Every structure is written in C-alpha cells, then in structure tokens.
Copies of this chain bind each other. A is one copy, B any other.
Amino acid sequence: MLTVAIPKGSLLKDSIASFAAIGLDFSAFLEKGNRQLQITDPTGQAKAMLVRNGDVPVYVESGQAHVGIVGYDVIREKKPQVAQILDLGFGGCRLSVAVQKSSPYQSALDLPAHSRVASKFVQCARDYFRELDLPVDIVPLYGSVELGPITGMSEAIVDLVATGRTLKENGLIETDLLFESTARAIAHPLSYRLNTYGLSDRLRILKEQLANN
C-alpha cells in the first residue's frame, strides 16, 4: 500500500490538503483529540504516518514511506538521500542570521572572528560561515535560540524566521538571509522511478494542480 509521511506541527494542515487534492483523505489526523500516529485513507488506497517534520526524510530515505512532506530547511540541514519532487509553496519561512539590535553588527561579516553563533541548524550555519571564510564557534541549541544573544552566550544566531515576531520581541534583527524555505514533497528515489503504487502518477497530478492554482 502507498505509504506517506506527514509532518506534525505547522505544516500539518496544508500537507493534508495537498494529499486531499490527489484523492487521499488523511483528515482524521486533524480531528480533535486524535492520538493515532498511523491511519489508512478511507478508500483503502494509502496509509499515512504522522511524524515530526525533522523525521520525515528518515522515513522516506529508508523507503518506509514512499513519499513525504517536509520543510526545505530540514532537507538543507540533514541532506537526506531522497528525490526532491515538488515545491508545495506553503510553510514559507527563511533561515537568517540575527544579532541584537543594539549590537554594532550589520552583517555576519562584521562579527569578530571566533564569535559564538547559536543555532539548531548546525550544518547550515557551519556551511554559511565557512563560505564567508569567517571562523566562528557554532553552539548547538535546540530551543529558544533567541536566548543566545540576550544572555551573552552568543554574538549571533542562525534561526528560522516566519513572521519575525519572536526576533522583534527579543530585540533581535536579521542581518543575513541563508535561504528561503517552503514545504516540499519528497519521495523515495526508487519508488518514484518505478511508479510504486502509482506514486509518480499522483505526484504529476499534484504538480499540475499546483500549476493551475
């Protein structure tokens, strides 16, 4: 049976709408009080697993899910061996460098060498500063990264920005844009090539629908 990995959290609702557009109904995940992590489409054509956004590529890479939806930021950070099929357009945000508004830094290049940069996007941050040829210490923080500059733990952060409200509330401003991110449909390369359970057909339909909207 076609198996899909759907991300919990902010991408959930639009992900379910994307599958609905190609005839697969996983709306049971949206029901209040739902505790199920695996459901089957009412027509019995496919099943879905509800997993963390960051875990989606792991399921797809291993072939345990044939297709999944995940933020581009995760793809950039984890570099999974999956086929990147479609930009779904929703879930827009950006990965940015931010510093304290009161600091003298107007871009990442203004940071003193060996500054500390807090981020949960350790690889992306490392790659970005390496390209700038600016040696910094990346401090891995997995929650409330904005505390970094406030507490003096780090001179800057690299973090996802959607509305910018969290930055503003914490007196931070963006200086550099690493990349823009949106939700992507990813597939297990072999399943996609072999059109397993009509996977590539369905994704082609989804692509056409996106183009018409």
Q: How far is the CB of A16 from chain B (nearest CB, A)?
A: 17
A142 in complex: contacting residue of B38, B55, B151, CB < 8 Å:
B55
Cβ contact within 8 Å between A139 and B51 = no
A55 in complex: contacting residue of B51, B55, B58, B141, CB < 8 Å:
B141
Cβ contact within 8 Å between B151 and A52 = no
Judge whether A152 is part of the interface by a CB distance below 8 angstroms.
yes
Complex Cα spacing A144 to B50, Å? 9
Copies in the complex: 2
How many chain A residues sit at the interface, stated as a range, is 20 to 34
7 further A-B contacts with Cβ under 8 Å, apart from A37-B150, A54-B142, A54-B143, are A8-B143, A51-B141, A51-B143, A52-B142, A52-B143, A55-B142, A62-B153
Residues of A that sit less than 8 Å from B by CB:
3, 8, 37-38, 49-52, 54-55, 58-59, 62, 64, 116, 139-144, 147, 150-153
